[in-house]
Amino acid sequence: MPYWHYPGTMGWAGGIGMLVLMALVLAALVALVVVLGRRGPQPPPPADPARRILDERFARGEIDQEEYERRRDALTRTR
């Protein structure tokens, strides 16, 4: 036996509430997909540690420009 006349049912306002709730859930899912899809570019892989050490030594003045260029060229030739 249907109970649409019973005052405890939600009536038409309950149906609108369910539609609003479903729309909010759908909007949250779409927002989640957009946020995950717009991840920023991945950071570059770590630089070559030998080149980084060479750069640091040159910056500290431990080696001169000629020595720096010679060693830098030697590092790039091996790759």
Write the pLDDT tens digit of every residue in 28-51.
Answer: 999 999 988 887 776 676 678 999
Total count of domains within the chain = 2
User: How far is C-alpha 68 from the geometric centre of its chain's CA atoms?
Assistant: 37
Residues 73 and 60 in one domain: yes
Residue 72: count of CB within 10 angstroms of its CB: 15
Q: In this predicted model, which residue has the larger pLDDT, 78 or 58?
A: 58
Residue 77: pLDDT band by 50, 70, 90 thresholds? confident
Residues 35 and 49 in one domain: no
CA dist 71 and 47 (Å) reads 16
Q: Given phi > 0 = left and psi -120 to 50 = alpha, else beta, which region is 13?
A: alpha
Residues 50 and 35 in one domain: no
The residue segments making up the domain with residue 51 are 45-78
pTM > 0.85: yes or no: no
Cα dihedral 12→14→15→16 (10° resolution): 90
Residues 34 and 50 in one domain: no
CA dist 42 and 44 (Å) reads 6
Rounded percentage of the chain residues whose pLDDT exceeds 90: 46
Residues 49 and 31 in one domain: no
Residues 49 and 36 in one domain: no
Residues 51 and 74 in one domain: yes
